[in-house]
Amino acid sequence: MVKIRLRRMGSAKTPFYRIVAADSRRAVSGSFIEILGYYDPLRKPLEMKVDEGKVFKWLGNGAQLSDTMRSLLRKSGTMAKWNRILQGEEGVVPETVFIKGESRNS
């Protein structure tokens, strides 16, 4: 089964995450299928970039979201668009979402 999850990058004490589609049987830091975006929790303001088209493609093919990714996509509004697509609403266009919000450390 394919999971959409975070893959930790960066050096010690400076985490940076890639949003990836990966086989659920692989290690979190192991191989992945496709990069879907990134998430930087330390940057002020908080920064996240997601390619909604790629995320919707994987969700449409049966990929599951990790709990953290579900929460981040809900906050970005991507999950609301996905639910509208599932209900058959016309005119919902996937885009690349770039979010700058409040940092968790401020």
Q: Tell me: the pLDDT tens digits for 52-84?
A: 889 999 999 999 999 999 999 998 888 888 888
Count Cβ atoms below 10 Å from residue 81 Cβ, excluding itself. 20
Q: How far is CA 16 from CA 22, 25, 34, 71, 80, in A?
A: 17, 22, 17, 17, 25
Domains and CATH numbers, the chain: 2-101 (3.30.1320.10)
Give the residues across from 97 on adjacent strands: 50
Per-residue pLDDT for 106 more than 50? no
The tens digit of pLDDT for each residue in 49-58 reads 999 889 999 9
Q: CA nearest 19: which of 32, 5, 31, 8?
A: 5
Q: What is the mean pLDDT of the chain?
A: 86
